[in-house]
Chains A and B, each alone.
Chain A
């Protein structure tokens, strides 16, 4: 389902994700526009996180899992190519900040580059600078790059994780409830950052917070019991949803 005039970056076609015989995501099709923010909302257990974990092939790393359907990245099926390559192009930020606890700020951000090759010190410096600036963290840490990542506040740690994801120079950034462990000030900074990130990246964000989805996203998909109920421009979906189920959910009259 295409909803934007922007080119489709990631085309999810009839995607089904299984844990054993349990279908956590069922026949979901979403065309994700390039350099826009697409939010995925829905109640707990509706398959939001499972869905985005299928978009960088993380789902298949859990035991007894299976994926059916197609996910095209710039027209190329991500399930027909090397998963490492997919994860380099499709970065991910998780619910809780998960910096490498034993590493410095600099080493956290440069880790993906060092895992993927043997860059020179100058290349690392440039990449870390770019990633930290991209994650709006540079000004706060420029004087203490060698400090442990764990010395940062929760909000800073989450931006550090975003910087780490950006360091690999991805095209798509998946964010799985990136603000759920943060206070309102740190949340606001991440939301501001998301608005900046979409100038260079395609962002897909899972959130429980509907106001956040309304604030940060261009498009919103509503999932219920693993199925896509409605997908459309965010403004449209929150102002006049087409489906009664969507309206019940976003107005809190569910069940």
Chain B
């Protein structure tokens, strides 16, 4: 990824290749960030300090890729003065770069709170976090796939699963609070679990943003034109009642700015 881009022919063909090359670089940045998130979570889950360190060591490279991508996109806009779908693609890539960078940073943050050995949280909580990881990993992969292959429907299908992640996030919060009350000695791990659950929720939001920007690049449609925003309510964390039910829980919606299904 570090090598200079291949020489491109001039004229119309060069222009098309430049756009394709920009998109490829965006996808590469996304894959790099995805790997940081995936490895950061695994390091945390398994308590693998060496794996965590390898994620932390990638922080500078993520910064460099982010900066390079921004530079290349701005240069393309200045030198080629794109319009219509090309302009939208370049503008979308600038935003996508930021969202991918955040995904990588959240993986970095998971690696940073890794402690040696497996976590001592209850198995049902750990299983829920693992399930969140599965859903969020597939969302990030899918968002990059939609960008790479110009797939509007694939990008659209992300939004429903973001709601699922939000639900899981709320469920994780309730379980963590219940466990903090019942087993205070688990507090250090549970505090980190709380952060990790929040990171998953943010990563899912960023994956949706990548999808949103892909849809904008391909169709010109902005999110508000196909997905009305829900009213936002305050985020209230309440002590769980016995056997909390996901559908009847009193917990408010997340304040997240991520896309939501109608």
Query: Which residue numbers of A lie inside 8 Å of B, CB to CB?
Result: 210-211, 214, 238-241, 246-247, 250-253
Contacts and interface: CB of A to CB of B under 8 A. Distances in A.
B178 interface: no
Given A211-B81, A239-B220, A240-B220, 12 more contacts: A238-B83, A238-B84, A238-B87, A239-B87, A239-B88, A240-B88, A246-B84, A247-B85, A250-B83, A251-B83, A252-B12, A253-B12
B149 to A, nearest CB: 20
Contacts of B86: 251
Nearest to B12: A252
Contacts of A239: 83-84, 87-88, 220
A247 B81 contact: no
Interface string B66-95: 000000000000000111111110000000
Contacts of B85: 247, 251
Interface residues of B, number: 11
17 contacts: A210-B83, A214-B83, A238-B83, A238-B87, A239-B83, A239-B84, A239-B87, A239-B220, A240-B84, A240-B220, A246-B84, A247-B85, A250-B84, A251-B83, A251-B85, A252-B15, A253-B12
Contacts of A251: 82-86
A253 B88 CA distance: 16
| SS of B interface (majority) | helix
Contacts, number: 28
A247 B84 contact: yes
Contacts of B82: 251
Nearest to B91: A239
Interface string B4-29: 00000000100100000000000000
A246 B220 CA distance: 14
A28 to B, nearest CB: 22
Nearest to B222: A240
B80 to A, nearest CB: 9
Contacts of A210: 83
Contacts of B87: 238-239
Contacts of A238: 83-84, 87
Nearest to B220: A240
Contacts of A214: 83
Contacts of B81: 211
Contacts of A246: 84
A77 to B, nearest CB: 36
Nearest to B11: A252
